[in-house]
Amino acid sequence: MKKILDLVVIENNKLNQNYCLIKLTTTDKSLLPDMFPGQFVEVKVDNSPSTYLRRPISVNYVDKIKNELWLLIQVIGDGTRKMCEWEAGEIVNLLLPLGNTFTIPDSDNGHELLLIGGGVGTAPMLFLGACLKEKGFKPKFLLGARSKNDLLQLDDFARYGEVFCTTEDGSFGEKGYVTDHSVLNNIRFSQIYTCGPKPMMVAVARYADTNKINCEVSLENLMACGFGVCLCCVEKTREGNVCVCIDGPVFNIEKLTWIS
């Protein structure tokens, strides 16, 4: 059930000049709504005159013990810049949870699961990995970035599975793109989940299709309302045009037009 809630900022961790990690909780100590991997929130950004609409942000992690919601923010424009300036104690209004979720297999049965994230698209992979491990799976992560400075939350990912990395400049992990990593040649994966820049996701989808691997992608279309009203996030699929905010953001690649 969607809710509009005021949450309070607990921490604002500046990961580097381009990213911050915001941790929030309820103002009255009530429990956060149930949230699932792949879902997102719409954030109201106050005191930013050029930010008229809410900003869609992936659920990075939910700490049920501490009753915390984590949001990984990349500074792109005035809205996200203002968000990265939030201080502990500030009250933030959110619409949540929104969207559908990744599909989790019923049982392990030897499944080899690979979670691929690029840039800020690594955000939903952390929560997904945590949920998969909780259900008995041993996921592997493949994280891509331009350089080592853009690889985020590596210690957090390592709590839930083995982590592989690529950087375009070769400063950490293997040099190149995620689809170039040797792990794809060394392990036969049965399921791939991915989120990141569209060219990366298209490349991953085509790799999965060629190798007959089930694959789900989390699209990052601009989602201004979260209700399918503004039509900012329309995506063409094999079944016609859909609104990513209500029909996604998670899609099986078989439904998209990316592959032949």
Domain interval for residue 67? 3-98
Residues at the binding site are 55-58, 72-74, 79-80, 225, 230, 233, 245
48 alpha carbon, distance to own chain's centre: 24
* CATH, residue 197: 3.40.50.80
Q: Are 213 and 242 part of one and the same domain?
A: no
* CATH, residue 238: 2.10.240.10
Q: Tokens for 152?
A: 């985020």
In tens digits, the chain (260 residues) has pLDDT values of: 889 999 999 999 999 999 999 999 999 999 999 999 999 999 999 888 777 788 999 999 999 999 999 999 999 999 999 999 999 999 999 999 999 999 999 876 778 999 999 999 999 999 999 999 999 999 999 999 999 999 999 999 999 999 999 999 999 999 999 999 999 999 999 999 999 999 999 999 999 999 999 999 999 998 888 888 888 899 999 999 999 999 999 999 999 999 87
To the question of pTM greater than 0.75 for the whole model, the response is yes
For residues 129 and 47, what is the distance between their CA atoms, to the nearest angstrom? 35
Residues at the binding site for [2Fe-2S] cluster are 225, 230, 233, 245
Q: What's the per-residue H, E or C state across 115-138?
A: EEEEHHHHHHHHHHHHHHHHCCCC
Residues at the binding site for FAD are 55-58, 72-74, 79-80
Q: Are 206 and 231 part of one and the same domain?
A: no
Q: Are 122 and 211 part of one and the same domain?
A: yes
Q: Are 132 and 209 part of one and the same domain?
A: yes
